[in-house]
Amino acid sequence: MGCVASGRSRLESNEASLKYFLLGAFASGFLLYGIALVYGATGSMHLQEIASHIARGGVAQNPLLLAGIGFLLVGFGFKVSAVPFHMWTPDVYQGAPTVVTGFMAAGPKVAVFVALLRVLGMAFDGARPEWTAIVWVLAALTMVFGNILALVQKDMKRMLAYSAIAHAGYVLVSLVAGAELGGIGTLYYLVVYALTTLGSFGVVALATRESMALAPSAAEPAR
């Protein structure tokens, strides 16, 4: 949050930091509550032991485990900016300094997707029928709304924010596909996405710096 609010003289930066803090705390609460429910249902937080517990007893007769998986998906949905949990992303990306926005769009999002891949692919692989339909819906909504809303944006950083949302939908599709090829495809996509996102925001940062350098100084007397 401190990086988002580094432009303290700008109202947009302060607004972005407040939204990032509040919605980030909200998402973390869902995530931690989901972890607590999964622990209560399985007695372990080790991914392989959770998978073994699901393989022995399934999840259909364990509503506590089902609720835990649901809360985890909501928490991860906020973190990866999946629709309808994407509300914070355009405002935070626009208000934060461009360099910080590039880091947020690449580094943390890739890390969260890797964590989601491990959790769904390792711990909850035996519960795939239960969470596949939910993730499919999230992926479809994220791809459609991310791309459509990106078309009507007038700010470059907001457009890139909706582009990042749409890309989250593509990655969710590969998570649903599962199996070894799905995991490999997810990791390959994340590497390419991180590099291209850093490049995109780097170009925006350079263009912004050039435009500020070319703009006439406010202190310069009018001629």
Q: In terms of residue numbers, what domain contains 50?
A: 4-209
Inside any domain, residue 87: yes
Inside any domain, residue 29: yes
- Per-residue pLDDT, 36: 94
Cβ pair 68, 77 in contact under 8 A: no
- Per-residue pLDDT, 14: 77
Residue 111 tokens read as: 């890390």
Helices then strands, each counted (H, E), the chain: 8, 0
- List the one residue out of 115, 214, 124 whose CA is nearest residue 171: 115
pTM, two decimal places: 0.82
pLDDT in tens, the chain (223 residues): 445 555 566 677 777 788 888 888 888 999 999 999 999 988 888 988 988 888 887 776 788 888 999 999 999 999 898 988 888 888 888 888 888 888 888 888 888 998 998 898 888 888 888 888 889 999 999 999 999 999 988 888 888 899 999 999 999 988 888 767 777 888 888 899 889 988 888 888 887 765 555 555 444 544 4
| Alpha helix ranges (H) inside the chain | 11-42, 47-57, 63-80, 88-95, 98-118, 128-151, 156-177, 179-214
- Per-residue pLDDT, 143: 94
Cβ pair 64, 41 in contact under 8 A: yes
Tabulate helix, strand, coil % of the chain (nearest 5): 80, 0, 20
**Cα distance between residue 213 and residue 183, in whole Å:** 45
Cβ pair 65, 54 in contact under 8 A: yes
**Cα distance between residue 79 and residue 73, in whole Å:** 10
Cβ pair 124, 134 in contact under 8 A: no
**Cα distance between residue 133 and residue 82, in whole Å:** 15
Inside any domain, residue 222: no
**Cα distance between residue 199 and residue 185, in whole Å:** 21
- Per-residue pLDDT, 178: 72
Residue 10 tokens read as: 């700008």
Number of compact structural domains in the chain? 1
**Cα distance between residue 189 and residue 211, in whole Å:** 33
- Per-residue pLDDT, 44: 87
